[in-house]
Structure 1
Amino acid sequence: MELIYEPAALRDLKGLPKADAKRIMEALRLVVDRHPQRQSFVTEMQGVPGYWRLRKGDWRAIYRQTETSIEVVRVGKRGEIYE
């Protein structure tokens, strides 16, 4: 499975502290390498079919999954990411 970052997600990651961005990217790689829905830090988003939320500390990554890829849409702080 391929990991794809949308331009907005890349901008979000560049704005994070380097250590936090690295943790999020490592967690996303883990999701891709293993079964995407079986990670304890991954939850399907309610009210938004097909989108998933990855949680690492106070940070969230929103992504959608296709048959061949995981597409990261946004990355941000808890509470702000859902606005």
Structure 2
Amino acid sequence: MERYTRETARGWTLDGASQEVAIARLAQFENAYFSILDQQKELSDRLEALKGQGRQKSAQFRELLGKKLVNQQILLAFEFQGIG
């Protein structure tokens, strides 16, 4: 991925990209972030339903839990960078 910004003593500035291109990239990041948040809510709901059925050891439960953990790692990486 090509970097569109660089940090200077005064803050962040565009580096080789137009403002429109940089805004479009920001929108893509925001869409991805909020999509992951939505997925986390859906996964939590599905996991709770499976727990209610006593299916914590099922393959489906484990697969959904794995997806939830991967998403959580992504969200933690965003938070580490001050996003979220």
Answer whether TM exceeds 0.5 for this pair. no
Q: Which of the pair has more CA radius of gyration?
A: 2
- Sort the TM-score into its range (normalised by shorter chain): 0.3 to 0.5
TM-score (normalised: structure 2): 0.32
Higher relative CO (Cα under 8 Å, sequence separation at least 6) belongs to 1
Larger strand percent: 1
TM-score (normalised: structure 1): 0.32
